[in-house]
Every structure is written in structure tokens, then in C-alpha cells.
């Protein structure tokens, strides 16, 4: 009896996956709803933070929609677990990269190009987590250059060689990234005060 229930469940998953691959969004919702609570549990286990786990669940749902269409899946549960686990590992890795960036790091770089030093809005201090979130919101090229310059302590020339940008572009991405960080921190601070 139990094996026939398992067989039926696997068949319905196979049918749902096939429907999803054919573009059926309702089938995707149905499949995801089956595993939503498990995904949250796995994310919470890896990330150890409820808010991060919630963010991960949302991101995984979006990732699932893309990955399921281009992957041949034999065992959905196994495949989906690996997808969730890898996403959590990626988030933890990103967190580690940002752990080394701090506002003091950014503010105290006296040699930060030939432009004025970065300062937090109204010279207020902000915590590393706030800065981390703001850096994540930067445009990809700006984020890449800011991380390489501040976190990895690479020179303009090193960044240019690794990214393919010329030194002038690197300086521009850093300047724009710094300006946008200031705007993001101001916006986030104002949003906090409104709560």
C-alpha cells in the first residue's frame, strides 16, 4: 500500500514537472506549495536566521522556475534538496565576503581615488549589516568593484585586469558605487525612522 502511494506521488510530481516545462505556472505553484515548508526548514537549518531563510525561500522559488525548465530531473526531491542546499551555501559564502567590509573600512580609505572620502549620511554611523544590505543593492559592476577594492584590497590595476574594465572605468564604478551607497544608506535610514 505504502509503495503504491509513493508511486502515485512520484507520478504526480513527474506530471507536474512536465506541465511546468511546458509553461504551466499553476503546476509550478502546486509543486512548490508541497515543499514550501521543507524549503524553509532547510534554509533555517543552514542560515540560522529567520529573515535570511525567508529571503532564501523567495529566491529559491524564482530559481526553481528557471532551473526546472532546463534540467532533466529523475528524482525531484533529491534534485530540489541539492538546489536549496547550494543556494544556502551561496548565501553563506556571500555573507562571508561581506563580513570583511565595514563602514570604517570604507570611510578610512584616504587613498580612495581622487574624490572626497565616503561618509555615512549626516556623518551618522551605521552598522555593518546595514552597509552589507546597501552594497547588495548596488549595480553589478559597482558592487564588483567596491568588493574587490574594499574587501579584497585590490588595486585599480588588479581590478581592471580581472574584470576587463580599464582603470578609468574601475575608478568610475567605484565613484558611482560610493555615491549610490550613500544614497542607499540615506534611504534606508529614512525608512527605519518612518517605522
pTM over 0.85: no
* pLDDT: which is higher, 51 or 4: 51
Q: What is the pLDDT of residue 39?
A: 93
What's 2-92's CATH class? mainly alpha
User: What are the residue boundaries of the structural domains of the chain, listed by start?
Assistant: 2-92, 103-194
CATH of region 103-194, choose from 3.40.1350.10, 1.10.10.10, 3.40.50.2300, 3.40.50.300: 1.10.10.10
Instruction: Indicate the pLDDT class of residue 100, thresholds 50, 70 and 90.
Output: low
Alpha carbon 109 to its chain's center:
26
- Give which of 53, 137, 148, 47 is closest to 100, Cα–Cα: 148
The 10s digit of each residue's pLDDT in 53-91 is 998 998 898 888 888 888 888 888 888 999 999 999 888
Q: What is the pLDDT of residue 195?
A: 61
Cβ contacts of residue 141 below 8 Å, gap of 6+? 163, 165, 173
Cell 549620511 locates to 121
Amino acid at each position: 500500500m505504502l509503495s503504491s502511494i509513493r508511486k502515485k506521488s512520484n507520478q504526480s510530481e513527474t506530471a507536474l514537472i512536465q506541465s511546468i516545462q511546458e509553461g504551466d505556472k499553476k503546476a509550478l505553484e502546486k509543486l512548490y506549495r508541497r515543499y514550501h515548508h521543507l524549503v524553509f526548514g532547510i534554509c533555517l537549518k543552514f542560515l540560522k536566521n529567520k529573515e535570511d531563510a525567508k529571503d532564501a525561500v523567495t529566491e529559491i522559488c524564482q530559481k526553481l522556475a528557471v532551473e526546472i525548465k532546463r534540467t532533466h530531473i529523475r528524482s525531484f526531491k533529491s534534485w530540489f534538496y541539492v538546489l536549496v542546499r547550494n543556494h544556502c551555501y551561496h548565501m553563506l559564502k556571500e555573507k562571508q565576503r561581506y563580513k570583511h567590509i565595514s563602514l570604517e573600512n570604507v570611510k578610512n580609505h584616504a587613498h580612495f581615488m581622487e574624490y572626497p572620502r565616503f561618509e555615512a549620511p549626516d556623518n551618522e554611523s551605521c552598522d555593518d549589516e546595514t552597509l552589507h544590505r546597501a552594497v547588495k543593492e548596488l549595480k553589478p559592476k559597482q558592487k564588483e568593484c567596491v568588493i574587490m577594492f574594499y574587501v579584497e584590497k585590490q588595486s585599480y590595476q588588479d581590478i581592471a585586469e580581472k574584470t576587463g574594465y580599464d582603470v578609468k572605468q574601475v575608478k568610475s564604478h567605484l565613484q558611482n558605487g560610493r555615491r549610490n551607497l550613500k544614497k542607499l544608506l540615506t534611504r534606508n535610514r529614512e525608512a527605519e525612522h518612518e517605522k
